[in-house]
Structure 1
Amino acid sequence: MSTGRPATSVSTHVLDTALGRPAGGVAVELSAAGAQGGWTALGGSVTDADGRCEDLPAPPADTTRIRLRFEVGPYLSGRAGAGTAFFPEVTVDFTVAPGEHHHVPLLLSPYGYSVYRGS
């Protein structure tokens, strides 16, 4: 059933800023919340060799917020000599506008991270 509203979409990618390359193999989970609140896990994906995750599920039409959970611990711990990851996961919660594409990259290093709305 169509709501008449354009679809909202979400994509992401993870860049390892310490190594200067994409972070492949990072699991990403997408959850959505509507105007009534309450999170619903919609599914997820794993970043490819280019660090991109472009096949995340489309959020429902009434979505007002998205949460991306990046499972970065295995990636960071797997780097040569890295040991245990300081940040085992990164969670990003952001608002969405109906019909817009939201690209939210994660810039990752062993002891810090940042995110931004990309294009």
Structure 2
Amino acid sequence: MKMNDTPAPLIPETAASTFAALGSEQRLAVMQALVRAGGGGLTIGVLGARCGITGSTLTHHLKILAAAGLVRQERQGRATICAADYTVVRQLSDYLLTNCCADCGTEGHDHG
């Protein structure tokens, strides 16, 4: 997919299950670290150190995020690189802004 292609909008069931994957403080910390890392991602070791989560706990959280499509994992030699899937992150953002804020507009409303 080209960077300028617009992803298909999420249906409510898919949006709900994807948001559910973010339903823990540790998984949110993992996503925050990966989004901040950019498209190159992070090795599992660096990711764990940044989030303070290691071993089987980190593996468990990555499995949930990957199943939801939020995280991609790729082997590079002996390392596993994890990266946020920005297409899915953008779909979630668009879903919220389109479906949850549709009636509020931007003028006269505090979204902060």
Which band: TM-score by shorter chain?
Answer: under 0.3
Q: Which has the higher helix share?
A: 2
TM-score under structure 2 length normalisation: 0.24
TM-score under structure 1 length normalisation: 0.23
Larger Rg: 2
